[in-house]
Amino acid sequence: MALAVSYLVRISIGGVFIPELGSQTFFSYVPTSVESVATESLGIFAKYITFVVAILVVLFIYGAIGLYLHRLFRKLHLNNPLVQTALGSTVSYVIFLLIGGALLELTVVTGQPVSLDTLITSSLPPQLAFGFVLSFLYSRELESKPHEAAKRPAPVIDTVRRRYIKMGIASAVALAILLSGVEIFLPKPTTEATLSKEIQAFFMNEVTANPDFYRVDINIEAPQVDVASWKLAVTGMVNSPLDLTYNDIVSMPYVEQYNTLECISNVVGGDLISNAKWRGVKLEDILKAAGASQEAVYVVFRCYDGYDVGIPIQKARDSGTILAYMMNDAQLPKEHGYPLRAVVPGLYGQHNAKWITEIQVVNEVYQGFWQRRGWANDATYKTTSTIVIPGNSPLRRRFMIPGGDSSVTEGTIPVAGIAFAGDRGIEKVEVSVDGGNTWQQASLKDPLSNYTWVLWSKEWNPPAAGAYKLMVRATDGEGNLQISTLEAPFPSGATGYQVIDVSVVS
């Protein structure tokens, strides 16, 4: 009950939700070696597993407080509900105020700006709920066992303990799933009859719908920014510092362009990549209006949630680098940076900052949040290619294609997927059906822009039923063949050819 009230306070008035704050404090200090392996293995679920653990820890603390007070009530013969509620609320309030204060002092980032005053006031409602429920349950117990009211507490029955432990774990998992909005996809068998429909769906969904666009950031709950009070400050090495409102931004001349974004944590064949249409203002126009120095080296994005990252001034002045406020012809969703985010062609998602509140022009190379933890500061998109059909690639969800399997029926088998090399473009894609011994060129669909992925397809007629190894590789627009050596994403992005096993049956 206390957790539920705390979360309602969090989303209604911007209070502190202790499991969220605890998770972000953990993110602030987890070693990069651990973080990179967890992200590579679990993807976005690594963050939510941490959230589940934080919820369990908070439940354990509440349970310990409850057990202590339960026994104290018996020992002191405190049967007055008002006294019980007051004592329970006060004890839990003090404990969680100390915990919250320590986390605020330690954390580097928060999902929203949080002050000590906010912690003090937003902690009251959940602790009052805790004290009331604790008193109510204790009174119910006394009503059911009046002869034990004055006795010392009896040992807790094991079956009851086990039941409540299971309930606590289930509640933590359910709450984390509900708050995160994580979608669970169950694989469905793929037959020859549905393959043509999959190819059609694949090409029809070249633009990723907003709810299906991948999201990786440092927050459990996306920050809720009050646009009425929000301003974009332009500071540093500028002649005329700016404070721009949202209306100032949207009234400026805008551009619309398609951009694919990919997380630097994306593994070979992974789904942390999506494509959208963005509307916004050129960053170069903002820099010109502020009179940015010609001697500047980096432009730094500072964000509402405490995140920060820098990009080279040359990239900031690139005509394709924009500050976006619309996504796929709709207002930029809060999950993707409302009211303003950066879209930077050629650089991994970590440089495409969200919830921007300040742009600072500096005269030195700037190490951002992830770069200070060991991720590369100059990592440009690696050339990558992925087989989406056939098989059960997680990328199928980005194209709204049901999960598949690795078994197909003899005949003409469509093979299709994506290739991406950032702003370098894609020159050609080749497919191998014999483990890389021979390669055949695939057909390419014209990309939506110079900054997007390229969809490719190839008809395959296997000579006989059996097991095959399908591989794909791409050549970027500058004539460079995709790197074949398989490397993990840390520290500068994954490399290697994707290989899938396909069984052809009669």
pLDDT, tens digit (0-9, with 9 covering 90-100), for 125-136: 989 999 889 888
Question: How many CB atoms lie under 10 A from the CB of residue 178?
Answer: 10
Position 364 confidence tier, pLDDT thresholds 50, 70, 90: very high
User: Between 77 and 35, where is the model more confident?
Assistant: 77
In this prediction, residues 10-28 reach a mean pLDDT of 79
How many CB atoms neighbour CB 146 within 10 A? Answer: 9
- pLDDT tens string 230-259: 999 999 999 999 999 999 999 999 999 999
Q: What percent of the chain has pLDDT over 70?
A: 84
Q: Which residue has the higher pLDDT, 191 or 264?
A: 264
- How large a percentage of the chain has pLDDT more than 90? 58
pLDDT (mean) for 270-275:
96
The three-state secondary structure class of 176 is helix
Tell me, what's the pLDDT at 145?
A: 63
In 283-319, DSSP assigns E strands to: 298-303, 308-312
The confidence band for 431, taking pLDDT boundaries of 50, 70 and 90, is very high
E-state strands within 1-143: none
Tell me the HSE value of 51 on the side-chain side, using a 13 A CA sphere. Answer: 23
Residue owning tokens 């580097």? 108
What value does the mean pLDDT take over residues 282-295? 97
Lowest mean pLDDT among 67-71, 208-212, 461-465, 477-481: 67-71
Residue 375 predicted with pLDDT over 90 = yes
Are the beta carbons of 311 and 378 closer than 8 angstroms?
no
Are the CB atoms for 412 and 460 separated by under 8 Å?
A: yes
Average pLDDT over residues 48-66: 88
pLDDT at 467 over 60: yes
Closest CA to 223 of 86, 357, 387, 400: 357
**Of 318 and 176, more confident:** 318
**Going from the N-terminus, what domains does the chain have, and what CATH number goes with each?**
2-180 (no CATH), 192-203+381-505 (2.60.40.650), 213-373 (3.90.420.10)
Q: Single out the residue of 8, 7, 5 nearest to residue 133, CA to CA.
A: 5
pTM (two decimals): 0.76
Report the alpha-carbon distance of residue 129 to residue 151 in Å, rounded: 27
Which conformational region is residue 355 in: left (phi greater than 0), alpha (psi within -120 to 50 degrees), or beta?
Answer: left
- Separation of alpha carbons 29 and 38, rounded Å: 14
CA–CA gap between residue 343 and residue 209 (Å, rounded): 17
pLDDT in tens, 153-211: 444 445 545 655 665 566 555 555 555 444 433 333 333 344 467 777 789 999 999 99
User: In whole numbers, what is the pLDDT of the chain averaged over residues?
Assistant: 86
pLDDT at 276 over 50: yes
- Residues 65-106 pLDDT 10s: 988 888 888 888 888 888 888 998 899 889 988 898 888 787
Q: At 386, phi and psi to the nearest 5? A: -140, 140
- Return the minimum-mean-pLDDT range out of 43-47, 173-177, 200-204, 426-430: 173-177
Q: Using 50, 70 and 90 to split pLDDT, how confident is the model at 146? A: low
pLDDT value at residue 109: 66
Cα separation, 382 vs 487, whole angstroms: 11
* 31 vs 424: which has the higher pLDDT: 424
Q: What is the pLDDT of residue 162?
A: 61
pLDDT at residue 321 is higher than 80? yes
In this prediction, residue 41 carries a pLDDT of 63
> What integer pLDDT is reported at residue 193 of this predicted model?
40
Tracing tokens 């903002």 back to the chain, one arrives at 286
364 or 142, which is more confident: 364
pLDDT greater than 50 at residue 505:
yes
**Residue 273 in this model has a pLDDT that exceeds 90:** yes
Res 95: pLDDT: 93
Weakest-pLDDT range from 253-267, 283-297, 353-367, 402-416:
402-416
Average pLDDT over residues 120-127: 87
What is the average pLDDT across 257-268? 97
